[in-house]
Structure 1
């Protein structure tokens, strides 16, 4: 990851927010266990690093799955009609996310490490939509959302769904470039900004 996001305190004697939270929840002093190699403070730093590393890929992919789960399921009567309306509203771009083209174990592949597959399909779908198609797709999605459970429906709910899917897919795609980054890349990034 180019930017090492840290919530740690700038002062070595001060405990950061996560360390204080863990100490309170665990009811353990921050240096517990004393004279041990791994303390509550260390666990807090590990947790912060782990959340930064997974937030842009696994969590964003999980969120994409949640977004699709809010839509009618393929194979059901409601789902068959819904996905046909999506295809009609979205034109050829809709084939990127249509169950007939993306069905089977596609969502399962996330567990096998294909973390960019759904994201790239969502981005391709949205990129191909014209403004009028995007409006039609938003209305179609919004009409299928359960306004009672989610709190919004109609075109506005569909627009929120599309924006959320777009940003979640973008986070997955952006995180994919980390696989090719090295510590030298990170240092070059920081050095360039120091000199700017």
Structure 2
């Protein structure tokens, strides 16, 4: 995984998403445990992080891994590849093209901007026509390393697009959690109990 995962925030007074999740959903105080971590504590933390799709750092990390499987911008292979994506995807491709999305976008994800790349990927995929999506899948699949990934061609490109779409959707869906309170969550469970 290219993205460094941060269990704690870089800012001493701020709590990152996992810390907030653990305090809200596991009722774990921020200074817990006072006597040290046990295997059970570590297991509970791992389960919380792995099972809760709201932890969008994982989905963002996966989006970065997907882009890392493609030819790098600035290389000879990358220039040719990104021209093919632009030709295949038309104006929709500008959402993810390095000339428009390059620079700090991936660094911002690394630094905690949870939605930037995800919303660009979703906009890109939403704007593609069915024939453009097929052409983009062909271009992506032809660039995937069959020896490393085990699949290439249009099917590999389609898998890349579906995976990027679902990862971006998870980031977008998770972003709503920052506005959700424990009362909102309890209201949800109560409504479904009474249904």
Which TM-score tier does this pair reach, normalised by the shorter chain?
0.7 to 0.9
Q: Contact 2:63–2:168 (CA<8 Å) still a contact in 1? A: yes
Structure 1 residue 66 and structure 2 residue 65: aligned?
yes
Q: What secondary structure does 1:49 align onto?
A: helix
1:139-171 deviation digits (Å, cap 9, x = unpaired): 000011111111110000000000000000001
Aligned match of 2:177: 178
Structure 1 residue 127 and structure 2 residue 126: aligned?
yes
1:38: how far off? Answer: 5.4
Aligned match of 1:114: 113
Whole-Å separation in 2 of the counterparts to 1:186 and 1:46: 20
1:98: how far off? Answer: 0.1
Q: Contact 2:95–2:120 (CA<8 Å) still a contact in 1? A: yes
Whole-Å separation in 1 of the counterparts to 2:42 and 2:142: 45
1:88: how far off? Answer: 0.6
Whole-Å separation in 1 of the counterparts to 2:37 and 2:75: 51
Q: Contact 2:121–2:168 (CA<8 Å) still a contact in 1? A: yes
Whole-Å separation in 2 of the counterparts to 1:40 and 1:64: 30
Cα gap change, 1:53/1:143 in structure 2, threshold over 3 Å: closer, same or farther?
same
Cα gap change, 1:180/1:149 in structure 2, threshold over 3 Å: closer, same or farther?
same
1:86: how far off? Answer: 0.2
**Counterparts of residues 128-167 of structure 1 (less than 5 Å):** 128-167=127-166
Deviates more, 1:181-190 or 1:111-120: 111-120
Q: What secondary structure does 2:103 align onto?
A: coil
Report the aligned-residue RMSD. 2.1
Q: What secondary structure does 1:114 align onto?
A: coil
Aligned match of 1:169: 168
Whole-Å separation in 2 of the counterparts to 1:172 and 1:129: 20
Q: What secondary structure does 2:62 align onto?
A: helix
Q: Contact 1:140–1:155 (CA<8 Å) still a contact in 2? A: yes
How many correspondences in the alignment?
A: 165
1:54: how far off? Answer: 6.9
1:105: how far off? Answer: 1.7
1:108: how far off? Answer: 0.5
Q: Contact 2:139–2:154 (CA<8 Å) still a contact in 1? A: yes
- Gaps of at least 5 residues in structure 2 are 1-20, 27-34
Q: Which protein has the larger Cα radius of gyration, Structure 1 or Structure 2?
A: 1
Aligned match of 1:20: none
1:111-163 deviation digits (Å, cap 9, x = unpaired): 22211100000000000000000000000000111111111100000000000
- Gaps of at least 5 residues in structure 1 are 7-35
